[in-house]
């Protein structure tokens, strides 16, 4: 048995997808779309060999469940599907030294990566066909993958979004709205403001579960100021554990991203449950499409409300006033002018380049937790992660002062910690987390109900 098949092959393709996302610094919404494409292609290939399930692309027109096919043929089919989609999405963005990562797994499994046949009488032909159908379908989904709309670069906005506020250090015109920051000498650009137009998997439309708006300084000044004070209080009293939580769930540049993080968690659960390819493929099909629809629903809120980030609100409300807060790496809590406040983030990141409401972390996490529970029928998670002394990327060598074990007895506990981590990091207000969790649960339920239709079991 080749080394490549020591654990379910479906999980190995998932891991390669996560590695590609990390290496190419793919952003969260685009990562969610990529994961959904890969795992939908794998599901469609697998479904051909299952009597009940049917494909999102070929429906029931191609079926081979009565031909005494074996597991090797099924693996070959979904491997070709995964290989074609991953190569399509990542071959060009990957550095030259990493471009054979997908090909290597194919060769390791004794599959010919150069076989492009679409003969539905063969395993590779079915895999190649469903991959091509997925790719073609998504080429027209308004994500602007090729950048052909109005001749913009890939993934570029084509809706004409313009921020209400000029970029810092200019004063804001309206404190309720997002202000682009100046980071490393570059002005932030709203990441994918066109994403609400992308065709979802299960949602009828992007605003289907749109939550209530954020607090507004004009309409509810007391609530607005209260949420800002809460972030300042958290910053002033940051503990080592809260810092560890903020960094563990950060999922910023060159990471798996929040959708990928939950795919990593799902992989852990699949291995713990000793799932084979069938369960892994079905679970990830539902999970990644939930992440994808969550990205669309969340970005619809971000575009609709265009709300201010804590860093801008604090600078504007407390400019010229002395506050107590975390003062930067290795400085602890200090007194400072409010205009100098900074979130507990890396200096080269500061705050994500898009509006605040609602929290992407909260939306992705609750949607993922919903799907994982729905599939496994288990709320228990029993996950943990050891943060070693001095392992911080923000305060290396100093934070935390002792080893800290992060533990999540349940899926809900993990999702809630992922959400609140953004308050510890100074990225989000409480309301964005709470309503993001609510949005994620609604999206997860919607996707699960549609996935059951395809499972048909």
Per the structure block, which two tokens stand in for 231? 């972030």
Query: SS3 sequence, 205-254?
Result: CCCCCCCCCCCCCCCCHHHHHHHHHHHHHHHHCCCHHHHHHHHHCCCCCC
Spell 262-284 as b/e; 16+ CB within 10 A means b: bbebbbebbeeeebebbbbbbbb
Paired strand residues for 410: 380
**CA dist., res. 82 & res. 161, Å (int):** 34
* pLDDT per residue of the chain (457 residues) written in tens, 0 to 9: 234 457 999 999 999 999 999 999 999 999 999 999 999 999 999 999 998 999 999 988 888 876 667 899 999 999 999 999 999 999 999 999 999 999 999 999 999 999 999 999 999 999 999 999 999 999 999 999 988 755 568 999 999 999 999 999 999 999 999 999 999 999 999 999 999 999 999 999 999 999 999 999 999 999 999 999 999 999 999 999 999 999 999 999 999 999 999 999 999 999 999 999 999 999 999 999 999 999 999 999 999 999 999 999 999 999 999 999 999 999 999 999 999 999 999 988 999 999 999 999 999 999 999 999 999 999 999 999 999 999 999 999 999 999 999 999 999 999 999 999 999 999 999 999 999 999 999 999 999 999 999 999 8
Domains of the chain: 3-139 (1.20.144.10), 167-455 (1.10.606.20)
Tell me the pLDDT tens digit for each residue of 247-305: 999 999 999 999 999 999 999 999 999 999 999 999 999 999 999 999 999 999 999 99
Residue 190: per-residue pLDDT: 98
**CA dist., res. 309 & res. 32, Å (int):** 23
Q: Beta strand pairing status for 322-326 and 333-337?
A: antiparallel
- DSSP character for 347? T
CB 117 within 8 A of CB 125: yes
CB 383 within 8 A of CB 248: no
* 405: nearest Cα among 430, 383, 375: 383
CB 369 within 8 A of CB 412: yes
* 407: nearest Cα among 396, 419, 420, 417: 417
Q: Beta strand pairing status for 380-387 and 333-337?
A: unpaired
Residue 4: per-residue pLDDT: 43
Tell me the pLDDT tens digit for each residue of 396-442: 999 999 999 999 999 999 999 999 999 999 999 999 999 999 999 99
Per the structure block, which two tokens stand in for 292? 């994808």
**CA dist., res. 455 & res. 51, Å (int):** 10
**CA dist., res. 193 & res. 355, Å (int):** 10
**CA dist., res. 131 & res. 358, Å (int):** 33
Residue 108: per-residue pLDDT: 97
Residue 3: per-residue pLDDT: 42
C-alpha distances in Å from residue 238, one per residue of 339, 413, 439: 19, 20, 28
DSSP of 323-345: EEEE-STTT-EEEEEGGG---SS
Q: How far is CA 273 from the centre of its chain?
A: 23
Using DSSP's 3-state secondary structure scheme, residue 357 falls into: coil
Per the structure block, which two tokens stand in for 32? 């969610």
């Amino acid at each position: 048995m080749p080394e490549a098949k020591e654990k379910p092959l479906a999980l190995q393709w998932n891991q390669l997808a996560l590695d590609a996302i990390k290496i190419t610094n793919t952003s969260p919404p685009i990562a969610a779309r990529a994961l959904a494409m890969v795992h939908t292609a794998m599901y469609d290939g697998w479904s051909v060999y299952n009597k009940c399930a049917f494909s999102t692309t070929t429906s029931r027109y191609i079926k081979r469940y009565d031909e005494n096919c074996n597991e090797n043929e099924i693996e070959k089919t979904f491997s070709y599907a995964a290989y074609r989609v991953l190569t399509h999405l990542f071959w060009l963005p990957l550095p030259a030294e990493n471009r054979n990562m997908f090909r290597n797994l194919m060769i390791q499994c004794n599959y010919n990566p150069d076989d492009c046949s679409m003969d539905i009488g063969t395993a590779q032909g079915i895999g190649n066909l469903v991959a091509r159908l997925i790719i073609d379908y998504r080429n027209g989904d308004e994500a602007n993958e090729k950048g052909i709309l109005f001749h913009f670069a890939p993934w570029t906005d084509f809706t004409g979004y313009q921020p209400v506020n000029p970029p810092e250090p200019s004063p804001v015109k309206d404190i309720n709205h997002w202000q682009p920051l100046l980071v490393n000498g570059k002005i932030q650009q709203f990441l994918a403001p066109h994403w609400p137009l992308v065709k979802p998997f299960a949602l009828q439309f992007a605003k289907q579960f749109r939550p209530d708006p954020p607090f507004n300084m004009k309409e509810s000044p007391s609530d607005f100021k209260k949420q800002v004070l809460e972030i300042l209080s958290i910053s002033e009293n940051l503990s080592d554990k809260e810092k560890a939580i903020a960094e563990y769930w950060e999922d910023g540049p060159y990471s798996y991203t929040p959708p990928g993080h939950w795919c990593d968690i799902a992989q852990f659960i699949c291995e713990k449950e000793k799932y084979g390819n069938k369960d892994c493929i079905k679970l990830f099909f539902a999970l990644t499409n939930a992440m994808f629809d969550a990205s669309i629903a969340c970005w619809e809120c971000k575009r609709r409300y265009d709300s201010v980030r804590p860093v801008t609100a604090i600078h504007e409300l407390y400019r010229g006033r002395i506050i107590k807060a975390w003062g930067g790496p290795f400085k602890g809590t200090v007194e400072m002018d409010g205009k100098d406040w900074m979130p507990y983030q890396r200096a080269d990141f500061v705050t994500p380049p898009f509006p605040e409401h609602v929290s992407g972390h909260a939306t992705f996490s609750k949607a993922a937790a919903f799907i994982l529970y729905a599939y496994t029928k288990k709320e228990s998670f029993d996950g943990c992660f050891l943060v070693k002394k001095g392992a911080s990327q923000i305060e290396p060598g100093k934070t935390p002062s002792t080893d800290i074990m992060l533990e999540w007895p349940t899926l809900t506990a993990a999702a809630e910690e992922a959400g609140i981590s953004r308050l510890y990091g100074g990225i989000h207000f409480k309301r964005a987390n709470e309503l993001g969790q609510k949005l994620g649960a609604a999206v997860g339920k919607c996707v699960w109900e549609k996935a059951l239709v395809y499972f048909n079991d």
